[in-house]
Amino acid sequence: MDFSIKTFDSKTTIAQVKTGCIIVGIFENKKLSAAAKSLDTKAAITTAINSGDVSGKAGSTLLLHAPAGVMAERVLLVGLGAEGAVTDRNFISAVQAVARTLTTLGTSDALLALPLELTVGRDSSWAIRTAVLSLRENLYRTDELKSKKDPVKGGVKKLALAVDAAGAAAAKVSIAQSVALANGMDLAKTLGNLPPNICTPTYLATTAKKLAKDFKLGIEVLDRKQLEALKMGSFLSVTNGSVEPPKFIVLKHMGGKAKAAPVVLVGKGITFDTGGISLKPGSGMDEMKYDMCGAASVLGTFLAIAEMQLKLNVIAVIPTCENMPSGSATRPGDIVTSMSGQTIEVLNTDAEGRLILCDALTYVERFKPAVVVDIATLTGACVTALGHHNSGLFTRHDDTHDALANELLAAGKNANDTAWRMPIEEVYQEQLKSNFADIANIGGPPGGSITAACFLERFTRNYTWAHLDIAGTAWKSGAAKGSTGRPVPLLTQFLMGRAQK
């Protein structure tokens, strides 16, 4: 879908616009938005509301064909809830309803004239982004590998957003940024949805190389021999049971000042997780193709910031491999040596994400980072704790890390991609004690997401760090099965905020 803006002045009114459809808002208690009032010169909208055909409840819609006094072929009324300031939830419900309706219309163009400035505590850029992402989400397809494609959705292909002339320049920037973000989310979703026989570590490396070529980014992909030379024994222990070669991807977007310390994003890239010798139950194991959604979200974020030409130095580090059972696989009870020199007793081979991440978190010290954020579908315990609404956010507790946590939480709230801060305390480290190695890779069922974060924390003490556990937010199961593209919005908003500083 192509997005643009449309401004109005004293000589041009919305009623004079020739288009296939104009979308305007109405409120509960039979109240009209300003745009709806300007179209209601012949009382067609008032008549429809008074008849009870539409309530004004958030997300309710009514399509009027050729209303008197309007040049547009149709007018779509969409409910915004109570009159006045519009809540986040109500605005999101409204634009999602618009997105569903626009794909069924027999026209290729439309004008969105919702009150973008009325959302509580938000500006028009938030409303524009929310609208663009909702419309793009409704158009996203998952039939790439079907021999018979799903029916192509028709409807609107070009959408203009009505804005004040004074805000036109800012609106154009918001649209461009929103489209870039939508493109990044689409990439993350596509990578997550691809089957593991296609989306292998090599495939992720190829995807990163394409991004580097398209946007002139720095790229380096390390293979097994190089990882062995770096003494990444923890990462390599996870790959022992698989014939697929591991890859270690380093992607660089150096859009900031030459000597500015970079933000480093570390994405877990287990392209399929059987659990290894600690084999998972067969039911639902197919969803373990999503265990690389941390890596996918980092690549999606890089596409977004590259398209935005973000003025910030950002480095992606993606350790990627499979976790498979075989005669050569790592066994429960094996002890491996990480790149940091710390030894790890592998009590459960299904706690493998932390084993690849710890070496990556040691590797990133060479970049002298401003901050490091790792993103991983790390624990089922996080799903139990937070469900599917919030990603788990973990950092140390001091002034520097509290500031980073607040920065990430605010970015998530602004991006409608929320996180919730969980504790990291020394008392939880007690659960990771081993009789035979420096550390065990699991701490038992109690506080499983916390002890997993505490494991990672031991490898990050030379820089400022945060961990996002996205096991509950990166994909959906059941009838809606598929990758969500989260937390690309949170990460992108976080980086945009950093660039603005």
494 and 403 fall within a common domain: yes
**pLDDT score of 12 more than 80:** no
Residue (of 27, 67, 69) closest to 49 by Cα position: 27
For 47-53, the CB contacts below 8 A with 24+ separation are: 48/77, 49/77
For 42-46, the CB contacts below 8 A with 24+ separation are: 42/67, 42/68, 42/69, 44/68, 44/69, 44/70, 44/75, 45/75, 45/77
Is residue 335 left, alpha or beta, with left meaning phi > 0 and alpha meaning psi from -120 to 50? beta
Q: Give the Cα separation of 181 and 295 in Å (integer).
A: 16
Task: Give the 3-state DSSP-derived string for 437-462, with helices as H, strands as E and coil as C.
Answer: CCEECCCCCCCHHHHHHHHHHCCCCC
Entry field: residues in the chain:
501
297 and 348 fall within a common domain: yes
CATH classification of the domain holding 123: 3.40.220.10
pLDDT in tens, 437-496: 999 999 999 999 999 999 999 999 999 999 999 999 999 999 999 999 999 999 999 999
Residue 138's domain comprises: 2-162
Q: Give the Cα separation of 215 and 410 in Å (integer).
A: 29
224: buried, middle or exposed (CB in 10 Å: 19+, 13-18, 0-12)?
A: middle
69 and 138 fall within a common domain: yes
| Cβ proximity of 359 and 365 under 8 Å | no
Q: Give the Cα separation of 359 and 236 in Å (integer).
A: 9
pTM recorded for the entire structure: 0.96
Count the domains in the chain: 2
403 and 453 fall within a common domain: yes
pLDDT band at 154 (very low <50, low <70, confident <90, very high): confident
Q: Give the Cα separation of 271 and 259 in Å (integer).
A: 34
| Cβ proximity of 414 and 394 under 8 Å | no
457 is written with which tokens? 């924390």
Average pLDDT of the residues in 251-273:
98
**pLDDT score of 29 more than 90:** no
Is residue 321 left, alpha or beta, with left meaning phi > 0 and alpha meaning psi from -120 to 50? beta
Domain-ending residue, one of 113, 132, 162? 162
249 and 101 fall within a common domain: no
- From the CB of residue 166, how many other CB atoms can be counted at a distance below 10 Å? 9
Residue 171: inside a domain: no
pLDDT in tens, 77-121: 999 999 877 899 999 999 999 999 999 999 999 999 999 887 777
Q: What is the mean pLDDT of the chain?
A: 96
Residue 172: inside a domain: no
Identify the pLDDT of residue 10: 67
CATH classification of the domain holding 491: 3.40.630.10
One-letter amino acid of 346? V
Contacts of 287 by beta carbon, 8 Å cutoff, 6+ apart: 475, 477, 481
Active site residues: 280, 354
265 and 125 fall within a common domain: no
pLDDT band at 309 (very low <50, low <70, confident <90, very high): very high
Residue 260: inside a domain: yes
